Chains A and B, each alone.
Chain A
Amino acid sequence: MNEATPIKGDQPDEIDFMELDNIIEMDFNNDPENLIMILQAIQGRYNYLPRPALRYIAEKIDVPLSQIYGVGTFYSTFSLEPRGRNIVSVCLGTACHVRGGERVRERIEESLNLTDGETTDDMRFTFESVRCIGCCSLGPVVKINEDIHGRIGAAEIAETLEKYE
């Protein structure tokens, strides 16, 4: 978390500013205290935090862009770069770790040729590690989008990933 990632150039995404207004005003009341939740809503919509949207929020809720950048890089769920169609999260909580979570992670990294936080060139997968999603009884756990794959063995990774286009 303490290693900042630089903001890349403007992404070519079309930003619907009316929609942003709806999120910022209607849902979150233009309130700077809601910044984290505003960013979550925007990431929910665009899959990442597009730079023009951040600039727009800064003006709208009157918070310096630097502070928004700070929040966007401090918290691990935010991404300033576009992410893949499928988010593969391997749980690295302690319970999963002692049950072989590390091996599962290695298999995913090898299968997708990615390291933590990276996205495949075809935008099919983004690989992330997460710290405990609270399904410890099912460890090791891999979450793909909203699906939780419990008691997964390193041997089943390739087959499981195949199911996601």
Chain B
Amino acid sequence: MKIRSIKDLEKTGIEHRKKLYYPDVIKVNIGMASCGIAAGAKASFEKAVTEFHGDNGIQISQTGCLGFCEEEPLVEILGTGKPRVIYRNITEQKIADAIRGYMGRNFNKKWILGQMRDPLCLLENHIDNPVEGVAKLDGIPFLEDIPFYNKQKKIALRNCGYIDPDSVEEYIARLGYFAFLKALNEMTPGEIIEIIKKSGLRGRGGGGFSTGYKWETCAKHEGERYIICNADEGDPGAYMDRSILEGDPHNILEGMLIGALAIGSSRGFIYVRNEYPLAVKRLITAIKEAEKYGLLGDNIAGTNFSFHVKISTGAGAFVCGESTALMASLEGQVGRPRAKYVHTVEKGFRGSPSNLNNVETYANVPAILLKGPEWYAGMGTEQSKGTKVFSLVGKIRNTGLVEVPMGISLREIVFDIGNGIPKKKKFKAVQTGGPSGGCIPEQFLDLRVDFDELTKVGSIMGSGGMIVMDQDTCMVDVARYFLDFLKEESCGQCNPCREGIKRMLEILTDICDGNGKEGDIELLEELSVMIQDFSLCGLGTSAPNPVLTTIRYFRDEYESHIRDKKCPAGVCKALFHYEIDAEACNGCRLCALKCPEEAITGEKKKLHILNQDECIKCGICYEACKFDAIVIR
């Protein structure tokens, strides 16, 4: 069926909303994004399919990721007149019991994460509220009342985990493509741009440039204009774009369609990282589905507007996240950035005006059109409107993707949503912004997170990676780690970046190896200024940030590496050794059994001895000991 009007959309929407919320069967939705699959969701899915094969009363479906990665695999079970229950850690061994338990109204309450009262952030005020009629389960919190979710506001992630990403119908059921058709039928390009400008939406890929203004500038330049989606999510520790592409691909297509209307484009490109094969697969399906409904292709909805989308994959180059490098790569070239005295909105891909936005940026666009720019601008801070998705990872209890209003404090994110640091360790820093960002220490935990506040403390928003570090993280090693990353990823065409990063890395490696000298810190600072000032593209100009922020906030760690030849965190191998604490060791033999070098000896229930000559400092004993008897000296 081809969609030709809002009426057609409504019809499809109502039909599938029923299937989504009031199915005739017991519906089992298994979170099948990459993270879920890696945690065992695929095995659970296959087990459920085999176990209930031929049972017409049960339907096993896939959804995207609900964001609470720590508890994956997440499984939702629902049925008309029954509660909607989210189970956590549902592995292959548990899935059949969870489903049978649900059907027999014996809900295995220990396995339940919460019950669903869909936030419906976009559906409210638009249609009948589908929550009515869902039974409530006593003593079980609603998802949005548990600490991980209760400060979140889902806009970009609004459909992730709620729909089958391969089903355009389910996307439509949650008001998908309504914003696009409204824009197509009722708005001029200028009006669309005005709405986006008014919403205050800024680019979510890192730069934070005003999206509306970018569209406006691109629309002014003559030539065949292109809409490009940057899905080359390269910042290590950031995976929100992957989650959106895998969980809600139509949202991106709709965002691009609206962008195409605004700037007057008929060709779109999505440049996806090679490491995200599932995202590519889901996008291909989404494009085919949208074409089937006449929402992509020629003469969309019977108008003279046509739009075609092509997917291109990268091949493992961090620098291709930079706009000019990305466009070179799209052309089949080596992905080297160029100087931007002529912007890509004027001359970009194929030398034509090209508008490039990040995945998360596009994901916000349909919502803004549906609910209005005032609604969006009503969230966030003065200069940073709306919400931002962060990937909360590293040394944190509740790992996952969190979407929060701009302006929330780091403390709320780390300690309320993230539930703090595991194993009673002490918080040390949060790293934001990937290799271009910096490390933010404890003293700034009450910082209101937005574009400008993060810049003030020497870091950046970047694409939203938030890596939590504890007392076992060595900040000098972190700086060395990022420079090692950037040395590998520098494209090599400009001297300051290619040579400067290498020299800085040499100095940092020396410091970590115990060969640091007085004056090294100052030399690092001097080199940093040079690289910032003279590099060609953003990769180089921001490369020193991790070094500068760690020097700024953790100078004492650098000094103890250089002067005392000690690594207080016990990471830099040349600068520490393990010892067995005679008082804490109870002779359980675990460390001796696990040591790959047989460097630990001792009899059961007697103090163990670590032979320093044999020890390779692999850390296996340190991780294994349950009594904190292995200590760093």
Interface residues of A (CB under 8 A from B): 1-2, 31-37, 39-40, 63, 67, 70-71, 74-78, 92-95, 97-100, 103, 106-107, 130-139, 141, 148, 150, 153-155, 158
Contact = CB atoms under 8 A, between A and B. Distances in A.
Contacts of B330: 33
A137 B317 CA distance: 23
Per CB-CB distance, the 3 closest pairs between chain A and chain B, nearest first, are A2-B492, A137-B69, A75-B315
Nearest to A138: B38
A127 B188 CA distance: 54
B384 interface: no
15 contacts: A33-B332, A34-B312, A36-B313, A36-B314, A74-B317, A93-B236, A94-B431, A100-B619, A132-B235, A133-B34, A136-B35, A136-B391, A139-B393, A155-B596, A155-B624
Interface in B481-515: 481-482, 485, 488-492, 498
Given A63-B332, A98-B467, A137-B399, 14 more contacts: A1-B317, A33-B332, A35-B332, A78-B315, A94-B481, A103-B619, A106-B618, A131-B318, A133-B275, A134-B242, A137-B35, A138-B35, A153-B620, A154-B623
Contacts of A39: 315
Contacts of A141: 38
Contacts of B236: 92-95, 97, 131-132
A98 B16 CA distance: 44
B395 interface: yes
Contact of B317 (A75, A92, A139, A155): A75
Contacts of A131: 234, 236, 318, 485, 489
Contacts of B473: 98
Interface string B388-407: 00010111000110000000
A1 B619 contact: no
Interface residues of B, number: 63
Contacts of A95: 236-237, 393-394, 399, 467
B113 interface: no
B329 interface: yes
A132 B39 CA distance: 16
Nearest to A70: B334
B594 interface: yes
B316 interface: yes
A92 B473 CA distance: 15
A150 B275 contact: no
Contacts of B395: 98-99
A94 B275 contact: no
B615 to A, nearest CB: 13
B594 to A, nearest CB: 5
Interface of B: 34-35, 37-39, 69-70, 72, 233-239, 242-243, 274-276, 312-318, 329-335, 391, 393-395, 399-400, 431, 434, 465, 467, 469, 473, 478, 481-482, 485, 488-492, 498, 594, 596, 618-620, 623-624
Given A75-B335, A95-B236, A107-B618, A37 B316 contact: no
B623 A132 contact: no
Given A98-B467, A137-B72, A138-B39, A36 B332 contact: yes
Contacts of A139: 393-394
Nearest to A116: B488
A8 B67 CA distance: 46
B399 A136 contact: yes
Contacts of B69: 136-138
B34 A153 contact: no
Contacts of B313: 36-37, 40
Nearest to A148: B38
B34 A135 contact: yes
A47 B47 CA distance: 32
Contacts of B329: 36
Contacts of A154: 618-620, 623
Given A100-B619, A155-B624, A2 B490 contact: yes
Most chain A beta carbons < 10 A, residue from B69, B236, B619: B236
B239 to A, nearest CB: 3
A148 B393 CA distance: 18
A134 B393 contact: no
Given A132-B239, A136-B237, A2 B498 contact: yes
Contacts of A31: 332
Contacts of A67: 333-334
B497 to A, nearest CB: 10
B189 to A, nearest CB: 27
Contact of A76 (B35, B316, B618): B316
Contacts of A70: 334
Most chain A beta carbons < 10 A, residue from B242, B312, B314, B334: B334
Contact of A136 (B274, B393, B482, B620): B393
Contact of B331 (A33, A103, A107, A155): A33
Given A1-B491, A136-B239, A94 B394 contact: yes
A32 B350 CA distance: 12
Contact of A134 (B34, B332, B469, B618): B34
B274 A77 contact: yes
A76 B314 CA distance: 10
A132 B69 CA distance: 15
Contact of B481 (A97, A103, A137, A153): A97
A67 B336 CA distance: 13
A34 B39 contact: no
Most chain B beta carbons < 10 A, residue from A100, A106, A136: A136
Given A2-B491, A132-B235, A36 B312 contact: yes
Contacts of A107: 596, 618
Contacts of B38: 135, 138, 141, 148, 150
A65 B535 CA distance: 30
A138 B65 CA distance: 14
A44 to B, nearest CB: 11
A130 B273 CA distance: 12
A132 B618 contact: no
Nearest to B485: A131
A78 B35 CA distance: 25
Contacts of B316: 75-77, 130
Contacts of A133: 34, 275
Contacts of A2: 490-492, 498
Nearest to A132: B236
A39 B314 CA distance: 11
